Amino acid sequence: MPLLSTRGAGSSKAFGLTSFSAYPYTVSFLVIAGGGGGGAGRGGGGGAGGFRTSTETITSKGTVITVTVGDGAAAKGPTPTGTGNNGSNSSISGSGITTITSTGGGGGGTDAGNTPGNTGGSGGGGVQSAGSAGNTPSTSPSQGNNGGAGDAGPYYGAGGGGGASAVGVAGTGFAGGAGGAGTASSITGPSVTRAGGGGGGIFSGNPGGAGGAGGGGAGGDGAPATAGSPGDANTGGGGGGDGYSGTNASGAGGKGVVILSLPTSAYTGTTTGSPTVTSSGSNTILQFNGSGSYTT
């Protein structure tokens, strides 16, 4: 009988879906942290949340897989201006499986003292400075990329935040840098790109940087002053940097997401946290937009 798309509600047990003869089997994971926020007061783009994948072997009934989904960073500003906030970590853990932690994206830099952005899963964009480091702490494969550098004039384009697959683009004298592109995954069936970096802001009516493919928010411009755009929810996208102003804020980072894919023949239906449950071919897909658990 095919599995119909459904949304869990609290702890649940799906009737007739379990076949314990399926052990051992493998579960694929996609773990994306919350995106970093853009900097305020002509700010760099926020870095995307760390993007990590894993495949684990499940050998017995009763393993509780704990899922933590990191929040995106809060917006910064309009006053005081400052470096963007970092996103929060996402993770999976459980007995007999390898704990995977993806690090929140780094906040974008600010023109207040030309302060650099923050390091993170992907790094924040710079303002008259180099972009900040991604893949911090270091993982292999890399969980993200560096932010782009900011330009010194004449309109001081800030760098875009790093994305899961690309470094943030450097700002120029006449435009903010675009956010780095995210990474495509087919874990849910169709290919979806997530974890794009936020675009950098700029002074005086020039264009802010575009958000990186995969949920990054666009950077603001200076006249008329516009705020940075937020990263998309449940993509880990970075927020856009603020255009130069004392009246607007930077873009908030997008919340992270954790996705599990396992054989439908082994699916128990025992969850907490209300994941969205769908099917793709012979697999059942659990998408956690908030923290919860799955019990094998």
Average pLDDT over residues 84-113: 96
Instruction: Give the per-residue pLDDT at 245.
Output: 65
Query: Which tokens is 127 given?
Result: 């303002």
Residue 8 has pLDDT above 80, yes or no: no
Q: What percent of the chain has pLDDT over 70?
A: 92
Confidence grade of residue 78 (pLDDT, cut at 50, 70, 90): confident
How far separated are the first and last CA of the chain, in Å rounded? 20
Which residue did the predictor score with more confidence, 75 or 21? Answer: 75
Average pLDDT of every residue of the chain: 91
From CA 68, how far away is CA 161, in angstroms rounded?
A: 24
Q: What percent of the chain has pLDDT over 90?
A: 80
Distance, C-alpha 5 to centroid of its chain? 25
Confidence grade of residue 246 (pLDDT, cut at 50, 70, 90): low
Q: With beta carbons less than 8 A apart as the criterion, state whether 180 and 212 touch.
A: yes
Task: Supply angle C-alpha 192, 83, 43, rounded to 5.
Answer: 70
Instruction: Give the per-residue pLDDT at 48.
Output: 99
Average pLDDT over residues 235-257: 91
Residue 101 has pLDDT above 70, yes or no: yes
From CA 239, how far away is CA 191, in angstroms rounded?
A: 23
What Cα–Cα distance (Å) separates residue 109 from each residue in 32, 127, 159? Answer: 22, 6, 9
For 106-155, how does the pLDDT look when each residue is reduced to its tens digit (9 = 90+)?
Answer: 999 998 888 899 999 999 999 999 999 999 999 999 999 999 999 988 89
9-16: long-range contacts (C-beta < 8 A, 24 or more apart)? 9/274, 10/272, 10/274, 11/270, 11/271, 11/272, 12/269, 12/270, 12/271, 13/268, 13/269, 13/270, 14/267, 14/268, 14/269, 15/269
What Cα–Cα distance (Å) separates residue 56 from each residue in 93, 186, 290? Answer: 11, 17, 21
Residue 19 has pLDDT above 70, yes or no: no
Q: Where are the domains of the chain?
A: 1-296
Average pLDDT over residues 59-75: 96
pTM: 0.92
From CA 58, how far away is CA 242, in angstroms rounded?
A: 46
- 3 state DSSP class of 113: helix
Q: Could you count the other beta carbons within 10 Å of the beta carbon of residue 5? A: 9
From CA 197, how far away is CA 61, in angstroms rounded?
A: 39
What's the residue count for the chain?
Answer: 296
Instruction: Give the per-residue pLDDT at 81.
Output: 83
Residue the block writes with tokens 């993170």: 120
For 182-238, how does the pLDDT look when each residue is reduced to its tens digit (9 = 90+)?
Answer: 999 999 999 999 999 999 999 877 899 999 999 999 999 877 778 999 999 999 999
Instruction: Give the per-residue pLDDT at 247.
Output: 73
From CA 93, how far away is CA 139, in angstroms rounded?
A: 17
